[in-house]
């Protein structure tokens, strides 16, 4: 298929991790790629954000570029184990086997992930336009026109929209999102790595009904350079106070070394959305959505946001490369539609899995209460019950989508 009226074969909107890996994957398939990013180069990137990359994600990175998954894995840390507490009693714990990180996953701040992928993009000649917010994306049977706020127009054969939750690409195409917003907030706190070197050796922990925190749930997970602590709020909580420096100094020393409360790096409060785009492509099949432009999940239940975003992005790059070299327009459109259908099905699956994790963690509905209490009671005799309670917040519903090779 020849595109005679385009400036560039592939434009990626958004230079976050999903946009970067989309650009890298497309470039590795021989495409000229332009990334347009609303924010300026070197913009501040606060917080750890998406920290956990799972083995299947690292494997996909290896497919994109041999050795990339290994480098990302080594840049993070291997979380040494997992422990689950319920009402102050430990009901399950297990170490992580000493295996290569490609087989166990890795934990690192998103800023480090982005830097690794950006460096590879630059090395391979991906072009970037920083400080270039998109005002509109319009498509027709022959391509897509990306209009920047500056008034500049870029004509592309295909666009990958990876511009996050407030996606200008998705909005300009009139694609809506379906789902809901969770009604209970979570406070997410990044703390620094303890100077006694204990942080990287800390087990991931989820504590249901923590007595020291008046029955709230709490989770922590170490990453390269620090640790994330998640506090689940209850109805009626003074969330602003709990998230303040004073509030953190009140509750955090009850569960962790008091040193951490005085070494907070970042605090954020979320009401998590559980939504998926109603379509991942436009009527002409010239745009594919990826990452948070296409879906928003809670981070619990397996870190499905970035992990699924990597699969979105790399599948989109593959579909675009196939479409550009397809024999005719019908064949090209089939590659785009197939990718959009498959990734939307994955998005709906992951939204529902993350929603299930939240319901069980909250334990406010009768079914979740029964499941949790039953697992707690039998865990001392049947360790798999304790493992299930741990899998809910930390791993999620680790089952395959029908007809798919990966849960994502």
**pLDDT at residue 106 greater than cutoff 80:** yes
Instruction: Please give the pLDDT value at position 131.
Output: 98
Q: Residue 353 is inside which H or E element, if any?
A: helix 329-362
Mean of the pLDDT values across residues 156-166? 97
Structure tokens at 162: 């990876």
Q: What structural domains and CATH numbers belong to the chain? A: 8-51+109-176+278-359 (3.50.50.60), 181-272 (3.30.70)
Instruction: Please give the pLDDT value at position 341.
Output: 97
Instruction: Please give the pLDDT value at position 354.
Output: 80
Instruction: Please give the pLDDT value at position 399.
Output: 41
**pLDDT at residue 185 greater than cutoff 70:** yes
User: Angle 55-56-58 (CA atoms, 0-180°, nearest 5)?
Assistant: 65
- Give which of 228, 215, 193 is closest to 299, Cα–Cα: 228
**pLDDT at residue 334 greater than cutoff 90:** yes
Please report, for residues 28, 51, 139, 151, 319, the alpha-carbon distance to residue 112 in angstroms, rounded to integers and kept in the order given.
21, 10, 35, 33, 28
Instruction: Please give the pLDDT value at position 1.
Output: 36
């Amino acid at each position: 298929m020849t595109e005679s009226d385009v400036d560039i074969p592939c434009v990626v909107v958004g230079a976050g991790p999903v946009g970067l890996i989309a650009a890298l994957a497309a470039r590795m398939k021989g495409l000229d790629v332009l990334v347009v990013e609303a924010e300026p180069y070197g913009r501040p990137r606060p917080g750890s954000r998406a920290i956990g990359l799972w083995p299947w994600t690292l494997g996909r990175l290896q497919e994109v570029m041999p050795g990339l998954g290994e480098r990302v894995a080594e840049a993070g840390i291997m979380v040494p184990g997992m422990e689950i507490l319920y009402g102050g009693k430990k009901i399950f714990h297990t170490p992580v086997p000493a295996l290569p990180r490609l087989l166990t996953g890795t934990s690192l701040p998103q800023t480090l992930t982005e830097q690794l992928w950006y460096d590879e993009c630059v090395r391979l000649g991906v072009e970037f336009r920083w400080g270039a917010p998109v005002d509109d994306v319009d498509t027709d049977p022959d391509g897509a026109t990306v209009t920047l706020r500056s008034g500049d127009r870029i004509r592309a054969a295909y666009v990958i929209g990876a511009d996050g939750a407030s996606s200008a690409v998705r909005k300009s195409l009139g694609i809506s999102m379906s789902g809901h917003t969770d009604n209970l907030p979570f406070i997410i706190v990044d703390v620094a790595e303890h100077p006694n070197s204990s942080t990287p050796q800390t087990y991931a922990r989820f504590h249901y009904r923590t007595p020291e925190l008046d029955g709230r749930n709490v989770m922590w997970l170490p990453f390269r350079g620090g640790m994330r602590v998640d506090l689940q709020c209850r109805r009626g909580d003074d969330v602003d106070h709990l998230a303040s420096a004073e509030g953190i100094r009140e509750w955090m020393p009850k569960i962790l070394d008091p040193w951490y409360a005085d070494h907070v790096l970042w605090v954020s409060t979320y009401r998590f959305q559980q939504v998926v785009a109603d379509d991942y492509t436009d009527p002409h099949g010239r745009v594919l959505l990826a990452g948070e432009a296409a879906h928003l999940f809670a981070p619990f239940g397996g870190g499905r946001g970035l992990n699924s975003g990597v699969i979105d992005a790399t599948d989109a790059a593959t579909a675009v490369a196939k479409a550009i070299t397809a024999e005719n327009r019908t064949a090209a459109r089939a590659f785009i539609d197939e990718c959009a259908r498959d990734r939307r099905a994955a998005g709906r699956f992951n939204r529902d899995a993350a929603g299930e994790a939240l319901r069980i963690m909250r334990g406010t509905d009768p079914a979740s209460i029964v499941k949790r209490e039953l697992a707690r009671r039998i865990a001392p005799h049947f360790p798999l019950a304790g493992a299930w309670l741990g899998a809910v917040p930390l791993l999620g519903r680790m089952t395959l989508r029908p007809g798919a090779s990966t849960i994502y």
